[in-house]
Amino acid sequence: MALVSGRRSDAAFHRARELGVTRFYEGVRDKAAILEELLAALNLTPPQAAAVGDELVDLPLFHRVGLGVAVADAVPEVRAAAHWITILPGGQGAVREVCDLLLKAQGRWEELVRPWQEPAVD
């Protein structure tokens, strides 16, 4: 997973570190160039990639990746181009919502949730 932001934010940087995101780009104006770099580095094809966005700068990504996701409070043009729109707005759990969706689609959700559902052993 990578986090690519057009803005600079200490909070986003710290949150990315908490989540174990090792590829963090901020203040990016050309997100499509970063996408190409990431695809090459991770040996992925565009249909294997997803992008989450809210602003016009995210539109080129949506036209390139297999899954373009707009957050609930995205500008209308981004919402119109999205394959899926989150229920939650940006900064309020939208990326978590997307991660959960992807894990469930990959059949990995139950495996990740199971340890939290098992009773504690004394």
**Residue 6 domain flag:** yes
**Residue 103 domain flag:** yes
Per-residue b or e along 74-97, where b marks 16 or more CB atoms closer than 10 Å to that residue's CB? beeebeebbeebbeeebeeebbeb
Select from 87, 51, 55, 57 the least CA-distant residue to 69.
51
* Contact between residue 6 and residue 31 where contact means Cβ atoms under 8 Å apart: yes
Whichever domain contains 89, its CATH number is 3.40.50.1000
pLDDT, tens digit only, all 122 positions of the chain: 788 887 877 766 776 777 677 888 888 888 999 999 999 999 999 999 999 999 999 999 999 999 999 999 999 999 999 999 999 998 888 888 888 888 898 888 888 888 888 777 76
Separation CA 36–CA 21 (nearest Å): 18
Residue-range definition of the domain harbouring residue 39: 2-117
**Residue 13 domain flag:** yes
**Residue 122 domain flag:** no
